[in-house]
């Protein structure tokens, strides 16, 4: 079935794709008949530097959907709750309907990217213990890094939620390192987003006291800095950001590795 043909359920177990709720740079979200669940569609767009650099890559949405499903599924199976429920088809998956917290969390195991640019740190410097940085999710302001104090001053999250976010980010990082390492891939750093999930009660109401912070969005080569553990070959969005090689080939290789289809 063509990915774009996801309009009607394939079986009675498949959710209905309703109105589009939101369109971002890389994904679209659609309502379903269940208020606690949304359908997420991965687009073929590639963007970098707050969408100043843009392109389209046929098949990229399908690769990211599959990589994210493999990783989020493994995180769920390990007992770490994520917003991912199940993959629906090539480019769609079913997710929990969370309120996105406007905070981006970056965890680093080696110095690369903006850490080196900002502070003149040599690329490749090991970061022990891992560094957790938080930034304001706001493209117009270029996702500026900030402190927990500023995030809570802005009302983006409570201090308890920030503590939970930092803790979940580090636990997720340990699991991600293991998942990638088992496929011969080294995780250098990554970005996570979190959501507040407030499931509806049986009477259809939602209550703030039921809200919990869970890992949301995606975990893909768009959001992780990844290299082949043996060769150092890049397998992530830096290929596109800095014109370092064939993005489609890098992403495809990553998917083959992650799904156990590589030689
Ligand atoms: P850096 O801050 O070095 O540019 O990025 C650190 C890590 O976070 C990289 O793995 C990068 O892919 C990810 N990252 C940081 N900001 C963003 C963003 O706005 N979008 C995406 N997709 N990834 C980001």
Q: What is the pLDDT along the chain (263 residues), one digit of tens a residue?
A: 344 457 655 566 799 999 999 999 999 999 999 999 999 999 999 999 988 999 999 999 999 999 999 999 999 999 999 999 999 999 999 999 999 999 999 999 999 999 999 999 999 999 999 999 999 999 999 999 999 999 999 999 999 999 999 999 999 999 999 999 999 999 999 999 999 999 999 999 999 999 999 999 999 999 999 999 999 999 999 999 999 999 999 999 999 999 987 76
Q: Is the CB of 225 under 6 A from ligand 1?
A: yes
Atom of ligand 1 nearest to the CA of 143: 19
Q: Is the CB of 113 under 6 A from ligand 1?
A: yes
Q: Is the CB of 114 under 6 A from ligand 1?
A: yes
Q: Is the CB of 188 under 6 A from ligand 1?
A: no
Q: What's the CA-to-centroid distance between 200 and ligand 1, angstroms?
A: 33
Cα dist. 165→96, 136, 215 in Å?
A: 17, 14, 8
Q: Is the CB of 115 under 6 A from ligand 1?
A: yes
What is the residue-wise DSSP string for 207-223? -GGG-EEEEES--STTT
Mutation to probe ligand 1, out of 189, 216, 247, 254 (largest number of atoms < 8 A from CB): 189
Q: Do residues 196 and 98 make contact, with C-beta atoms less than 8 angstroms apart?
A: yes
Asked if the peptide bond before residue 129 counts as cis, ω within 30 degrees of 0, the response is yes
Residues with Cβ < 8 Å from 124, sequence gap 6 or more?
Answer: 110, 111, 112
H-helix or E-strand spanning residue 194: strand 185-197
Q: Is the CB of 162 under 6 A from ligand 1?
A: no
Q: pLDDT tens digits for 57-91?
A: 999 999 999 999 999 999 999 999 999 999 999 99
Q: Is the CB of 109 under 6 A from ligand 1?
A: no
Q: What's the CA-to-centroid distance between 238 and ligand 1, angstroms?
A: 9
């Amino acid at each position: 079935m063509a990915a774009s043909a996801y309009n009607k359920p394939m079986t009675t177990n498949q959710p209905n794709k309703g109105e589009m709720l939101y369109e971002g740079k890389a994904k679209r979200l659609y309502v379903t008949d269940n208020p606690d669940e949304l359908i997420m569609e991965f687009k073929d767009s590639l963007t970098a530097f707050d969408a100043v650099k843009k392109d389209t890559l046929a098949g990229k949405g399908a690769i990211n959907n599959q990589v994210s499903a493999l990783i989020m599924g493994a995180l769920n199976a390990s007992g770490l709750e994520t917003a991912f429920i199940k993959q629906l088809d090539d480019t769609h998956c079913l997710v929990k309907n969370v309120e996105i917290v406007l905070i981006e969390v970056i965890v680093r195991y080696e110095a690369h990217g903006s850490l080196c640019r900002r502070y003149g740190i040599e690329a490749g410097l090991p970061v022990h213990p891992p560094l957790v940085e938080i930034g304001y999710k706001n493209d117009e302001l270029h996702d500026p890094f900030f402190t927990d104090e500023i995030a809570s001053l802005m009302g983006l999250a409570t201090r308890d939620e920030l503590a939970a976010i930092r803790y979940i980010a580090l636990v997720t990082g340990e699991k991600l390192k293991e998942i990638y390492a088992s496929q011969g891939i080294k995780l250098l750093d990554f970005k996570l987003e979190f959501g507040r999930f407030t499931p509806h009660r049986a009477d259809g109401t939602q209550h703030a006291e039921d809200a919990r912070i869970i890992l949301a969005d995606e975990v893909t080569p768009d959001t992780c800095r990844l290299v082949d553990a043996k060769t150092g070959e890049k397998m992530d969005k830096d290929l596109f950001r800095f014109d370092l090689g064939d993005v489609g080939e890098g992403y495809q290789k990553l998917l083959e590795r992650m799904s156990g289809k590589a030689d």
